[in-house]
Amino acid sequence: MNKIIIKNANIVTESEVFTGDVLINGEVIECIGRNIDCPDAEQIDASGRLLLPGAVDVHTHMDLDVGIARACDDFYSGTVAAVCGGTTTIVDHMAFAHEDVSLMHQVEEYHRLADGNAVTDYGFHGVLQLMNDDKLAEMRAIAEREGITSWKAYMTYGANMTDDEWLFKVLRNANEAGLVIPVHCENDAVVETLKAEFGAAGKLQPRFHPLSRPAGAEAEAVSRLLHLARLAGDAPAYIVHLSAAESLKEVSKARHAGQKHFGVETCTQYLALTDAAYDDDSEGLKAIMSPPLRRDSDCSAIWAALAKGGMIDTIATDHCPFTFGEQKQLGRSDFRKCPNGAPGVEERLGVVYSEGVAKGRISLPQMVKYLCTEPARIFGLYPKKGAVLPGSDADLVIMDPDAKRIMSIKDMHTACDYTCYEGIELTGRIEKVFVRGRLAAENNEFTGSRGYGQYLRRGVSSLI
Ligand code: URP
Ligand code: ZN
């Protein structure tokens, strides 16, 4: 069995930083301590380096088919990008099917897309559309059979959105069955009305995208979801990609009222980018995503909530890349026709470390909690994933905390042709990434192999 010992590292967990050694035996961490002696193991000196759990991104959209376009990262290029950026596990959100099919249809489709291609371990969130009583039962059956213990609902998305009646029924079903419901929260009536009005007025440049999806439309849906979850018996809802200070106020109200079983996710882009990205009529297409980028004051409010704790649980990416050269151009003369989404899986750890930890906004343990441990807990992967513990998978990242670099698409592995973070100066450099004991990336070179990633049957969420 392959043994590796990482010596003298500054090991970061969700609660502390301490200096020590980590012994990897095969695919798992065997032990952690001081002066571990194991002469038959390969030795890696990590003095002055950080050792983190491999990051867990619980919101990606690899190979997402949105009808007008298909996300340009498939499960191979997308997970190569992930691992080079320090993410060793993804939980991918499925696309809607283009017709009314069983829930199992998309599960099979996603195995076809991911199995044999992914280079990191991966799980799936199921997708809910055109709900009926049979599908409520099917959610439970698939959870048992496949370990798909979270099912995504959209409060806006044309015919595929889940209305309040079915959202309530889904939440009640989830509460009975011990499943989590990630929800895209935006008020559909507001968004569709504003989009139609901007269209009729010929206001079709990217700068009208954020105006058609105001922060209040998100906050209203967050509030409604939280009320429905409470009415369903404090059901385990999970708010995906929270982007606005106004939404945080709704989260705060629910937390203070004693609602316990819900989770909140934000994403890198709502921390590090603003709606200034829409000022340019051409480049603005790169940042068309839903919810849209917000004001600087929203970013500050989200950082402050992360620093304070108790409000937001995870930082994910909503990685959903479309090429600027071709795919994003579908929206050149009408922002409403632009495929929504942007890359982010490769950028997340670097940006959050640099903008968050190096700039003193959050601590190192907080970063590990939001990027690794809490996502693993909420989505039934802990302690196999998201932790540096004996018996956990040896998914590990070694980082130089002080190195400087400029982020640029030319150094990246995504199949996308741009990054929203082009040109920003980053502190910190990822040196080595291990996936289940195997070196998968070294100094920004992919060293793993196609298909090494394993499907993850997930267990019970910490929200239950
Ligand atoms: O703009 C976003 N969030 N794109 C991701 C794909 C989706 O449908 O959620
Ligand atoms: Zn998404």
The band of 146, judged by pLDDT with boundaries at 50, 70 and 90, is very high
CA distance linking residue 304 with residue 364, whole number of Å? 15
Is the bond leading into 39 cis (omega within 30 degrees of zero)?
no
CA distance linking residue 88 with residue 71, whole number of Å? 20
Residue nearest to atom 3 of ligand 1 (CA): 290
The pLDDT, as a whole number, for residue 74 is: 99
Over the stretch 339-387, which tens digit does the pLDDT of each residue have? 999 999 999 999 999 999 999 999 999 999 999 999 999 999 999 999 9
CA distance linking residue 292 with residue 283, whole number of Å? 14
**Which is the closest atom of ligand 1 to the Cα of 66?**
8
**Given the structure tokens 């909140």, which residue do they identify?**
264
CA distance linking residue 134 with residue 166, whole number of Å? 12
**Domains of the chain: residue spans and CATH:** 3-52+389-402+427-446 (2.30.40.10), 54-378 (3.20.20.140)
Cα–ligand 2 centroid distance for 103 (angstroms): 18
Parallel/antiparallel/unpaired status of strands 121-127 and 151-154: parallel
Q: Which of 161, 289, 293 to mutate to test the pocket of ligand 1 (most atoms within 8 A of CB)?
A: 289
The pLDDT, as a whole number, for residue 335 is: 98
- pLDDT(1) > 90: no
Over the stretch 238-261, which tens digit does the pLDDT of each residue have? 999 999 999 999 999 999 999 999
Beta bridge partners of 439: 434
Cα–ligand 1 centroid distance for 61 (angstroms): 8
CA distance linking residue 202 with residue 197, whole number of Å? 9
Of all residues in the chain, the percent with pLDDT exceeding 70 is 100
Q: Are 74 and 107 in contact (CB under 8 A)?
A: no
Over the stretch 158-191, which tens digit does the pLDDT of each residue have? 999 999 999 999 999 999 999 999 999 999 999 9
Cα–ligand 2 centroid distance for 31 (angstroms): 37
Q: Are 169 and 153 in contact (CB under 8 A)?
A: no
Over the stretch 87-111, which tens digit does the pLDDT of each residue have? 999 999 999 999 999 999 999 999 9
- For all residues of the chain together, what is the average pLDDT? 98
Q: Does residue 61 have its Cβ closer than 6 Å to ligand 1?
A: yes
Kindly calculate the radius of gyration of the chain based on its CA atoms and give it in whole angstroms: 21
Beta bridge partners of 124: 92
Angle made by CA atoms 175, 179, 181, in degrees to the nearest 5: 90
**Which is the closest atom of ligand 1 to the Cα of 95?**
8
pTM: 0.99
Cα–ligand 1 centroid distance for 344 (angstroms): 12
